């Protein structure tokens, strides 16, 4: 004879749903055991199991428990078609998000590939950079872990799902122009995310750039080089300094693989 009823533990194991959640479903009238034994055990029939299938699928799409309860209580062709339409819309949204994430990851990988082949480390160059979007968080930071923490907070303002670590966004910290010119390189006044989507406009123009490979504790030497170059070539610094982390702790634990670019807006 086929088994007709199932204990709560069996249902919990089969659907990988905790017994506490099943009891909560019972409390709100979403799934009710067919009966309770004298020993207090709850017993469910196959009729309840198909409901659990629907609940699990709808919950995975973000449908609220009240809406699920309403659907299960008044299930008909029209309501089922509405649920299917909702599911299709959610699937399309997921596909679009995955497409965006795929593009972001491809760009991120190309960026890593580019710097693996990069040869112009420790060279000072002047380059033209177009307008960009930048999100900033002001503060006062000295250590890389403080900057990383601030960037995590800043990332909450981004309107898309993927973490900045896995996108083409450039992350970094800013140094006040006055601090740089006075030789004070180790206190940053902002963290930032440069992206193509949102934030205030960061004006394009000519930037003095130096890219180096290795740990951050050598960065003062490169700032000194840049300061001397600016004085020798009679350049004017016209804005705050950007320190961009192209390859950092989220990509590699080996500090010798870190790649950092210093960008200084200038005019002759």
Q: Which tens digit of pLDDT belongs to each residue from 167-187? A: 667 889 999 999 999 999 988
CA gap 69, 31 in Å, rounded: 9
Which value, to the nearest 10 degrees, does the dihedral of the CA atoms of residues 217, 122, 171, 205 take? 140
> pLDDT digit string (tens) for 32-64?
778 777 777 778 877 777 778 788 878 877 788
- In this prediction, residue 46 carries a pLDDT of 73
Domains of the chain: 5-75 (1.10.1660.10), 119-267 (3.20.80.10)
Q: Is the pLDDT of residue 3 over 90?
A: no
Model confidence band, residue 22 (pLDDT cutoffs 50, 70, 90): confident
What pLDDT is stored for residue 156 in this prediction?
63
Confidence check: pLDDT of 1 > 50: no
Name, of 63-67, 195-199, 234-238, the range with top average pLDDT.
234-238
The pLDDT tens digits of the residues spanning 183-233 come to 999 889 888 888 777 788 998 999 999 999 999 989 999 999 999 999 999
What per-residue confidence (pLDDT) applies to 135? 85
pTM, 2 dp: 0.67
Helices (H) and strands (E) in the chain, counts: 8, 12
**Is the pLDDT score of 81 beyond 80?**
yes
The conformation of residue 111, written as its DSSP 8-state character, comes to H
Specify the pLDDT at position 260.
96
Q: Which tokens in the block code for residue 234?
A: 């009679």
Give the model's pLDDT for residue 155: 66
CB of 108 closer than 8 Å to CB of 167: yes
What mean pLDDT comes out for the span 72-80? 81
């Amino acid at each position: 004879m086929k088994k007709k009823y199932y204990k709560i533990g069996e249902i919990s194991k089969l659907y990988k749903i905790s017994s506490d959640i099943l009891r909560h479903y019972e409390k709100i009238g979403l799934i009710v055991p067919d009966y309770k034994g004298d020993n207090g055990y709850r017993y469910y029939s196959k009729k309840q199991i198909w409901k659990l299938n629907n609940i699990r699928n709808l919950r995975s799409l973000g449908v609220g428990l009240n809406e699920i309860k309403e659907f299960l209580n008044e299930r008909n062709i029209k309501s089922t078609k509405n649920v299917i339409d909702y599911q299709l819309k959610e699937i399309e949204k997921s596909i679009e998000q995955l497409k965006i994430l795929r593009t972001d990851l491809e760009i991120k990988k190309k960026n890593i590939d580019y710097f693996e082949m990069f040869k112009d480390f420790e060279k000072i160059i002047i380059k033209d950079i177009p307008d960009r979007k930048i999100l900033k968080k002001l503060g006062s930071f000295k250590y890389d872990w403080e900057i990383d923490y601030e960037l995590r907070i800043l990332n909450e303002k981004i309107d898309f799902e993927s973490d900045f670590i896995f996108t083409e966004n450039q992350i970094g910290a800013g140094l006040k122009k006055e601090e740089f010119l006075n030789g004070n390189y180790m206190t940053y006044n902002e963290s930032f995310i440069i992206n193509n989507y949102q934030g205030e406009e960061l004006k394009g123009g000519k930037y003095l750039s130096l890219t180096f490979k290795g740990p951050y504790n050598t960065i003062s030497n490169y700032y000194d080089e840049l300061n001397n170059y600016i004085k020798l070539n009679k350049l004017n610094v016209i804005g705050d300094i950007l320190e961009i982390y192209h390859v950092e702790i989220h990509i590699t634990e080996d500090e010798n693989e870190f790649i950092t670019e210093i960008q200084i807006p200038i005019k002759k």
